[in-house]
Amino acid sequence: MAFRVMLVLGARPQFIKSAPVIHQFLKRRGVELQIVDSEQHYDYELSKIFFEELRLPRPALSLHVGSGSHASQTGKAMVRIESGILALKPDIVLVPGDTNTTLAAAISAAKLNVPIGHIEAGARSYDMSMPEEVNRTLTDHISNLLFAPTKNAERNLRAEGISRKRIFQTGDTMVDALKTALPLARKLKRSLLGQLDLDEGEYVLTTSHRPANVDDRHKLHAIVAGLMRISESMKVVFPMHPRIAHNLESYGLLRKLRRSRNLIALKPQGYVKMIALLDSARAMLTDSGGIQKEAFLLGTPCVTMRDTTEWPETLKNQANTLVDADPDRIVKLIFRANKVPSRRPLDSGSPFGTGKSSDRIVRAVLSTSYRSHASPELLRVT
């Protein structure tokens, strides 16, 4: 009988970071991969586009969880994932990242005594006001296998008393994803920059979606003021997450932004286009968790509109700088940021690993004692 691995996803960064793991599992004989999409993200640009672009198989289950308050979204996801586990009887449930879907799947599996593997375990901002910090901390403490992306993440888990036996320092699957996407992004770059009338290294790329920034009227005004000032002397490319697009519209700020000739407002981009834009940008201004790492790996200086980061490795040599939503500071840091194209951790080895994380995760899953009924055949790659 096949070894059944359930992988529960639901939001943009999870599709991207799980793609390499999915493709590794698909290469193994004797494994039945059950992809469950909670549909926490349901817009085409935040969800289905990645299934197409990253060639992900159709999910075995789509759970239509959608948006809602944290409790209702997590609760709905728990109930539906529980039914999914009962129906599909996985031997292990894998949960990547730190979304409400991650926590819901981990709790549902734990209560049904199904082993859990947490991908991206041990990331900590030590800011419990972040919903993601609550999700990842709780998930780590009920997981059986913890796949830590960095040494620092492993140290964080050990400091919380988690046994070394449960921790696998695998590297970050984002490096694997980036290594696949970069050659495609490089091919696309000239035509993409041409279409948007951009010159290599001559524009700032920006994204923002964190509730702490975009749901706070004052902070949103401050971010827009910063962007307007940057756009007085440089083009600004702004792929807008639906959350910020909605709030900019309701606070009357979208019209203001659109008046600036230098500000290019876009829909959320597919992954390869996003990497092409990031690779060629002079600097990145963001509050994303994942983009901080991608900017670091590509050697694009990053300014992060947050007080804390779960990726302290990116702060070294000011490759990434944290800033409040303060227009003066944002503008100053963006113009101070200097790109050094020869300094790209992706090429020379980085604290996030060398792109073999998904293989390590899959091997660890398949060789653990949980697959008591399985054969060594599982470890063979076809």
Q: Which is nearer to ligand UD1, 271 or 352 (CB)?
A: 271
| CA distances from residue 175 to 34, 157, 291, 296, 302 in whole angstroms, order as listed | 24, 21, 12, 11, 17
Q: Is 268 in the site for ligand UD1 (CB under 6 A)?
A: yes
Q: Which two tokens stand for residue 284?
A: 């990145």
Closest CA to 172 of 365, 16, 352, 360: 352
CB of 381 to ligand UD1, least distance (A): 26
Shortest Å distance, C-beta 141 to ligand UD1: 18
182 three-state secondary structure: helix
Q: What part of residues 230-259 is at the interface with ligand UD1 (CB under 6 A)?
A: 239
Residue position matching structure tokens 């050094």: 340
Residues 170-229 that bind ligand UD1 (CB under 6 A): 207, 209
* Size of the residue set binding ligand UD1 (CB under 6 A): 20
Q: Is 209 within 8 Å of 244 (Cβ atoms)?
A: yes
- Restricting to residues 51-80, name those near ligand UD1 by CB under 6 A: none
Residue 55, helix vs strand vs coil: coil
Place of tokens 């599909």: 88
Contact 359, 180 (CB under 8 A): no
Q: Which of 3, 4, 5, 12 binds ligand UD1 (CB under 6 A)?
A: 12
The residues that are catalytic are 209
Residue in 8, 13, 247, 260 binding ligand UD1, rule: CB under 6 A: 13
Would you count residue 358 as binding ligand UD1 (CB under 6 A)?
Answer: no
Part of the chain binding ligand UD1 (CB under 6 A), chosen from 86-94, 183-191, 264-272, 363-371: 264-272
d(C-alpha 33, C-alpha 176), whole Å = 19
Nearer to ligand UD1 by Cβ, of 207 and 350: the residue is 207
Residue ranges in 90-129 that form contacts with ligand UD1 under rule CB under 6 A: 97-99
Number of C-beta neighbours around residue 69 at 10 A: 9
Amino acid at residue number 341: P
- Confirm or reject binding of residue 156 to ligand UD1 (CB under 6 A): no
Q: How many CB atoms lie within 10 A of CB 257?
A: 17
Q: Does 38 bind ligand UD1 (CB under 6 A)?
A: no
37 lies in the site for ligand UD1, by CB under 6 A? no
Distance CA 206, CA 278 (A): 9
Q: Please identify, among the stretches 6-14, 80-88, 190-198, 315-323, the one whose residues bind ligand UD1 according to the rule CB under 6 A.
A: 6-14
**Contacting positions for ligand UD1 (CB under 6 A):** 11-13, 16, 97-99, 132, 207, 209, 239, 268-269, 271, 274, 288-291, 294
